[in-house]
Amino acid sequence: MTSIKLTQTVQKGGCAAKVAASELRSILSQVRFPPTPQNLVVGAQTFDDAAILNLKDLQTNSKSLVQTLDFFTPIVDSPDWFGKIATANALSDIYAMGGWPVSAMAILAFPLATMDTSVAVQVLQGACDKLIEAQTPLVGGHSIDDDTLKFGLSVTGLVEADQVWSNAGAKPGDDLILTKALGTGTLTAALKRQTLEEKDIQVALESMAQLNNILPLLGSLRSHVHAATDITGFGLAGHAMHIAKGSDCSLELQFSKLPLFANVMEMLEAGFLTKAHRTNAEYTQAESELGNLSPLQQKVITDPQTSGGLLLSVDPQFSQAITQSLQKKFPMTQKIGQVSRAQTKKLIWI
């Protein structure tokens, strides 16, 4: 095997790759940040080494910490939308665990040589607008000068210790509820290839930027959610399979019940696919009984979602009430199947 000299693969290395302090200060001075909470002892204002929050003020004795991190390259053309979507996507992991975010830190890779810094300002402002909506402070972050724009967040949250959601709690007989429509992978592939414009996928943009904060909608119904996950890059099939494996059960799913964005089937038929359509299909194939699904329908269930909805496994006695509650802010919410005892295959498509 040929030895690789890593230093020869990059133009800048280590901390020398940071965005210059003067340029970073200029960018940040143009962004309106979320309000500083009282429990934030040290934040980003003084460029200190790390953030410090007073946990005593958060009354954490009965709570557990939730931590996640997510970042990616642009999926849309507008910097503002990119910042909003990347932020909603990162926060989604906290909501999928039944928690709520308490702080966030930005991850920014920015091509200073080829892109005006006003783009970074717009990305960060879009992110901060979503963080303000989520009542979550941005307490710091890290930026580097890179060849390709990348953005995301590291997020810390809290969850009631006795009310944690995971992908391992589904029970036979549960109903399966999906909260957002599918198809962002193929729609944004068409956007990238300039067949569609952002105005053509406005509904999908708004969906990707919508926070998956469903706890306020559920109230006491949250105790009837047995398992949850958010549908992102592995597609509905991949994340559903994780629930089935984690819970040692099978999922029976109805394709006809899946909510889809407009133009998704048309764009799939036109061949607007991503590499993840193929890798997701390969990943789930051995555990899937595809029934009478057509080749196009199979691409829908492996479509890589960005900031997709939540897939919930819920007590069937309360599934209608949960669905109706969620539809107040997530109008595409739909019951899409049921949980069964473990069968030969983890995913059974009807």
Task: Please count the structural domains in the chain.
Answer: 2
Q: Which residues pair with 313 in a beta bridge?
A: 176, 227
Residues 217 and 110 in one domain: no
| Residue 47 pLDDT greater than 80, yes or no | no
| Pair of tokens at residue 292 | 């009478």
Across 89-194, where does the E strand assignment appear?
100-110, 138-145, 150-160, 175-178
For the chain, percent of residues with pLDDT exceeding 70: 97
Q: Of the segments 5-14, 39-48, 182-191, which one has the largest average pLDDT value?
A: 182-191
Tell me the pLDDT of the chain averaged across its residues: 93
* Angstrom distance (rounded) from CA 136 to CA 37: 9
Assigned domain for 110 exists = yes
| Residue 1 pLDDT greater than 70, yes or no | no
For the chain, percent of residues with pLDDT exceeding 90: 82
Res. 217 pLDDT band, cuts 50 70 90: very high
Mean pLDDT of 235-250: 97
Res. 48 pLDDT band, cuts 50 70 90: low
Residues 126 and 200 in one domain: no
- Which member of 1, 15, 21, 286 is catalytic? 15
Domain termination site, one of 105, 125, 160: 160
Mean pLDDT of 50-60: 77
Residues 126 and 184 in one domain: no
What pLDDT score does 268 carry?
Answer: 97
Give the residue numbers spanning the domain of 182: 175-349
* Catalytic residue status for 15: yes
What pLDDT score does 321 carry?
Answer: 98
Residues 96 and 36 in one domain: yes
Strand order in the sheet with 150-160: 63-72, 150-160, 100-110, 138-145
Mean pLDDT of 299-328: 98
Mean pLDDT of 41-70: 80
Assigned domain for 5 exists = no
Mean pLDDT of 320-348: 98
What pLDDT score does 22 carry?
Answer: 83
| Residue 29 pLDDT greater than 70, yes or no | yes
Assigned domain for 198 exists = yes
Q: Are 99 and 155 in contact (CB under 8 A)?
A: no
Residues 101 and 22 in one domain: yes
Residues 145 and 220 in one domain: no
| Residue 57 pLDDT greater than 80, yes or no | no
Residue 236 to residues 80, 184, 231, 283, 344, Cα–Cα distance (Å):
27, 12, 6, 12, 19
What pLDDT score does 222 carry?
Answer: 97
What pLDDT score does 36 carry?
Answer: 84
Nearest to 124 by CA among 1, 24, 257: 24
Assigned domain for 4 exists = no
Mean pLDDT of 260-271: 96
Domain termination site, one of 131, 160, 189: 160
Residues 319 and 194 in one domain: yes
Assigned domain for 165 exists = no
Residues 25 and 134 in one domain: yes
Which tens digits make up the pLDDT trace of 72-115? 999 999 999 999 999 999 999 999 999 999 999 999 999 999 99
In sequence order, what DSSP letters do the residues of 9-46 get, joined into one string?
A: G-SS-GGGGBPPHHHHHHHHTT--PPPPPTTEEE-TTT
Domain termination site, one of 160, 194, 228: 160
Residues 69 and 39 in one domain: yes
- CATH code where residue 302 lies: 3.90.650.10
| Residue 334 pLDDT greater than 70, yes or no | yes
| Residue 304 pLDDT greater than 90, yes or no | yes
Residues 226 and 141 in one domain: no
Mean pLDDT of 11-19: 79
Going by their DSSP bridges, the two strands 138-145 and 100-110 should be labelled as: parallel
Which tens digits make up the pLDDT trace of 113-168? 999 999 999 999 999 999 999 999 999 999 999 999 999 999 999 999 999 999 99
